[in-house]
Homo-oligomer: A and B are copies of this chain.
Amino acid sequence: MYLRSMETFNRRKIINDPVFGFIKIPFDIVFDLIEHPLFQRMRRIKQLGTTSFVYPGANHTRFQHALGAMHLMGNAIDTIRGKGHEISHEEAEAVTIAILLHDIGHGPFSHTLEKTIIQDVNHERISLMMMELLNREFSGKLTLAIKIFRDEYPKRFLHQLVSGQLDMDRLDYLRRDSFFTGVTEGTIGSDRIIKMLEVVDDRLVIEEKGIYSIEKFLVARRLMYWQVYLHKGVLAGDQLLIKMLQRARDLMASGKQLNAAPALEYFLGEEGREMNGNDTDNFILRFAELDDTDIISSAKIWSRNADVILRYLSKGFLDRRLFRIEISEEPFSKERIEEEKKKVSVKMSVSEPLTDYLVVTDTISNHAYSTIDDNINILGKDGVVKDIYEVSGILNVSVLSKKIDKYYLCFPKKI
């Protein structure tokens, strides 16, 4: 159904993508998966959550990202095959499905709310559960895709194309996020990186002449982290959202009657907090009803609530009255935090315990290149495989692989 009313109707299915131009749908089952409501739901989940507070162009969705990553996978398959490594039709289809669905488990405002709405389940696990659900619906046709996704398939490079230091997920999102935020400096040479892919002992490596592209990829990624993903305004927006949901949940827990979008209501209540081990399907189906609009429409309801805290946070979220934020290399002192809380308590006439919702301190950390993850391996002309840092020399691996911790303090700007 889906694409038939697009560009080309029955014969050929092509999607216009501002980043990559024309994207072809390579397999029939991929077309059917895209049409599925679980996949269509991703149209209503922004890739970058609150980032559009800072970069107004960042309204692209997980739906677009999934299609983009699928497109790059096609190129990667062509390149690897072209270098003489076999990838069967089944494997190609499976690895394409795996990348298409890798993010299907994301909830609204993804990373921001991952720890708020459901507390014990990360999105990878939910993605997997959704794939299994789809697998039943598609009579087992996703079995190989799931195997690859779980890294249980011998040709491990297929898993690495889905999840690894240079997977199609990253190659797409870095380029796409750079494109839509307008932070053009963060763009990466996904085309060239893919052309440099090779396979040695069933693992992905990069041809030696690609090292400068990799260096640039690492530096561009770092730039995107600090300039976009961990931008002060984004952090401040995230905290507003997190605290708003906490306040709503706490009010409900304390017995207050509180309207919300129905899909969200369930997750704010007692039973929605944890995934019930006995009935994961019910959990998944309820979770699948959630998207960004539930958060926003709930905020709209709450912005008229009697509770001053909930009202303040909801209106701030809707009107983009972000917290003021300070960042520091050192943790903020208790005194400083207390001081801010007192100010807030006085100015907003709320009791001091309630200022926990308004004065927030937290840490951010970033590994631009984690040595714990699998490495980026470079294939030398002599056939020897080495880590990028050994080969490159220019990048300070000790810095890059070190966890950088920064501290921040958020509080109301003008009250």
Hey, which bits of chain A sit against chain B, CB under 8 A? 1-2, 5-7, 11-12, 14-19, 21-22, 35, 37, 40-41, 43-44, 46, 52, 54-57, 59-61, 63-64, 67, 82-83, 179-185, 187-189, 191-192, 195, 209, 212-213, 215-216, 219-220, 222-223, 226-227, 232-233, 236, 261-263, 289, 292-294, 296-297, 300-301, 318-322, 325, 368, 393-396, 399-400, 413-414
Contacts and interface: CB of A to CB of B under 8 A. Distances in A.
A110 to B, nearest CB: 16
A57 B191 contact: no
A57 B52 contact: no
Contact of A15 (B56, B219, B399): B56
17 contacts: A5-B236, A15-B56, A16-B181, A16-B182, A17-B182, A21-B182, A22-B195, A41-B318, A59-B61, A185-B188, A185-B213, A222-B394, A261-B261, A293-B293, A296-B297, A297-B297, A393-B396
Contacts of A187: 187
B319 A40 contact: yes
Contacts of A52: 43
B182 A189 contact: no
A212 B195 contact: no
B212 A262 contact: no
A174 to B, nearest CB: 13
A164 to B, nearest CB: 21
Assembly stoichiometry (copies): 4
Nearest to A192: B185
Given A18-B182, A292-B293, 15 more contacts: A1-B320, A1-B414, A6-B54, A15-B56, A17-B182, A21-B191, A40-B318, A40-B319, A185-B216, A212-B223, A215-B222, A216-B216, A261-B297, A293-B293, A394-B400
A226 B391 CA distance: 14
Contacts of A188: 185
A35 B316 CA distance: 11
Given A37-B318, A300-B293, A400-B394, A185 B181 contact: no
A16 B55 contact: yes
Contacts of A181: 16, 18
Nearest to A17: B182
A192 B289 CA distance: 37
Contacts of A321: 1
A177 to B, nearest CB: 11
A224 to B, nearest CB: 9
A103 B55 CA distance: 20
A82 B14 CA distance: 13
A212 to B, nearest CB: 4
A216 B185 CA distance: 8
A188 B187 CA distance: 10
Contacts of A14: 195
A337 B314 CA distance: 48
Contacts of A233: 5-6
B189 A184 contact: yes
Contact of A263 (B2, B189, B300): B300
A233 B233 CA distance: 37
Given A43-B56, A43-B320, A261-B300, A413 B15 contact: no
A386 to B, nearest CB: 14
A414 B2 CA distance: 12
Nearest to A264: B297
